[in-house]
Amino acid sequence: MNMEKRANVAVFASGTGSNFDAIMNSPDRNFDVVRLVSDKPKAHVIGKAASFGIQTIVFDPSDYEDKSAYEQELLEQLKRARVEWIVLAGYMRVLGETILDEYKGKIINIHPSLLPSFRGIDAVGQALDAGVKVSGVTIHYVDEGIDTGEIIAQEAVTVFPHDTKESLQRRIQQVEHNIYPRVLNKLTKE
Ligand code: GRF
């Protein structure tokens, strides 16, 4: 029996949760997902977490005075759950210093482009508009900027002339679902 301690991870997501699904279903996952955090009380991903038996932390930022107020409460819940790593998977909010300071070097994001190209929202649309022949996926550490943190891993995806946003996004997500669990396994073991 492997007695090594498994890392405790919280996944933050605001939407569909296909990356959350991929992480949960990854057969050789060597870390534990102990919380799903969502800022969207109606997000699809919340139902997915329930089906995996993962406890959720759901909050509506508009119920709070400001970002530091909800992040302070969130931080307390993360600590109580002994969360060591924060994994952003379609979390549509910029983290503030309350969380960033406490989890320095332990927050990871996945972005659907080859950073530093096409930061921010609609990276797939941005790539198509720019006419690039290659786009891809980047996994990076999170800092105070938007998609600016140190790059951990990247994988290229060819853009075909007939690609639509939907078709390119589908192929990019297939890559995401494969690379994210693999990279997280490696990082959380170090
Ligand atoms: C992913 O494509 C990821 O790159 C981006 O947000 C999307 C989330 O998709 N940051 P899902 O909710 O995991 O399906």
Ligand 1 pocket check: which of 176, 178, 180, 184 to mutate, most ligand atoms within 8 Å of Cβ?
176
At 1 the pLDDT is 47
At 138 the pLDDT is 99
Q: For residues 88 and 110, give the distance between their C-alpha atoms in angstroms, rounded to a whole number.
A: 7
With the C-alpha atoms ordered 75, 80, 84, 85, is the resulting torsion angle positive or negative? negative
Told to judge if 111 belongs to the known catalytic residues of this protein, a careful annotator would answer yes
Q: How far is the CA of 56 from the centre of ligand 1 (A)?
A: 18
At 157 the pLDDT is 98
At 68 the pLDDT is 97
Structure pTM? 0.96
CA-angle at 81, arms to 32 and 72, nearest 5°: 125
Q: Whose CA is nearest to atom 1 of ligand 1?
A: 90
- Nearest residue to 146 via CA among 184, 98, 99, 96: 96
Residues of the chain with pLDDT under 50: 1
Q: Which atom of ligand 1 is nearest to the CA of 15?
A: 12
At 12 the pLDDT is 98
